[in-house]
Amino acid sequence: MAYIVYGRFMPFLIMKKLLITLLGILTVSSSILAAEGWITDYTQGVEEAKKSNKNMMVLFTGSDWCIWCKRLHSEILVKDEFTNFAKDNLILVELDFPAKNKPSQEVQDQRKALAQKYEIRGYPTLVLLTPEEKEFGRMGYMKEGAEAFVQHYKELAQKASSAKPQSGNGCEITLNYKDAPEMEGWMKAMKAICHEWYPQIISILGMEKASYQNVTITIDAGMNGVAGTGGNQIFLSKDYFSKHGTDAGAIIHELVHVVQAYPKYIPWITEAIADYVRLYHFEPNAPRPQVNPEHAKLQDGYKTGAIFMAWLVENKDKDIVIKLNKALHEGTYQDEIFKEITGKTADELFEEFLTSVQKN
């Protein structure tokens, strides 16, 4: 907590009153929010939400620099209308991004990864989640006050409760961070992201279920590169992720490989589909990499392949990724499938794709 020191001759009572007023209006202190029942650990919040079957309200805030965050706190979050309601109905999680008195680098990386996951573009943002971590709405500061704020939340929650539940396609995730015990919190944040996205990847690829219901994620201190997958085992480079903790997309890419479980590894198309899921579903608002039509080749795969896949979906067959994945997963894939689906070979389609890139 920060202390404000005034001139020694200021009467004590006046000084005390001003101090309380200023703290109440100008600061959003984690300790004050904690006193109101807010948790600062996302994973703990998820566990409590599941245990209590309550919805989560996750606050992304800048407590010491964001004026609207301060007003949200002083005008809504500490008011009886909100606190009385939240006590019985919500699990409250605060993820603070202060300019000063920052938490440990590990905690900062966890929060940045979650901000990326939920595509936070401004502060304050309150993300509303079901106990299964399904987002059903977002909120922010409301000048109408706490009562209107609670009413708006109730409306969003009512819509969520009437939505049809999704079929269960989750998986058990085991973490191995013995090479990097200091990354435990970050690993747990990645686990939460993978739990949410595993069934979504299955759905995106048009599958009824995945081959694996258990996934192990290991931090490897001796690993070069970024990450790798074998079967249901995902390996992450300690060196890379200790420096790039916000790159959750790289982990989603590997999680796609677990779902793919192709009996034969065909590098370009396997990696193209994995990056397609990453770039066009997990990171839909991230800047797109540029394709150089003079140097790009079909066999490049990865991001070039992902952009090619997106072009095929938009211009040739909206279900082409699902059809390709089915053939690859069943072990029946042949290059001729492109002509069967579109009337053109893969090479002909890629040339047409490059021509469209040149025009744009």
Of 230 and 35, the structure prediction assigns the larger pLDDT to: 230
Helix (H) or strand (E) holding 52: helix 42-52
Q: Is the pLDDT of residue 103 over 80?
A: yes
Number of domains in the chain: 2
In a domain, 80, yes or no: yes
- Number of other residues whose CB lies within 10 A of the CB of residue 216: 16
Residues 46, 100 within the same domain: yes
Residues 47, 155 within the same domain: yes
Residues 345, 208 within the same domain: yes
pLDDT digits (tens, 9 = 90+) for 46-61: 999 999 989 999 999 9
Query: What is the per-residue pLDDT for 31?
Result: 41
Range of the domain at 201: 172-359
Q: 221: domain CATH number?
A: 1.10.390.10
CA distance 185 to 39: 14
Residues 136, 245 within the same domain: no
Helix (H) or strand (E) holding 55: strand 55-61
Query: What is the per-residue pLDDT for 168?
Result: 57
What is the average pLDDT score of the chain? Answer: 87
pLDDT digits (tens, 9 = 90+) for 265-319: 999 999 999 999 999 999 988 888 899 999 999 999 999 999 999 999 999 999 9
Q: 125: domain CATH number?
A: 3.40.30.10
Average pLDDT of the segment spanning 122-149: 90
Residues 93, 142 within the same domain: yes
> Confidence class of residue 20 from pLDDT cuts 50, 70 and 90?
very low
Task: Note the pTM of the prediction, 2 decimals.
Answer: 0.58
Average pLDDT of the segment spanning 80-86: 95
pLDDT digits (tens, 9 = 90+) for 167-207: 456 788 999 999 999 999 999 999 999 999 999 999 999 99
What 3-state class would DSSP assign to 243? helix
Residues 330, 198 within the same domain: yes
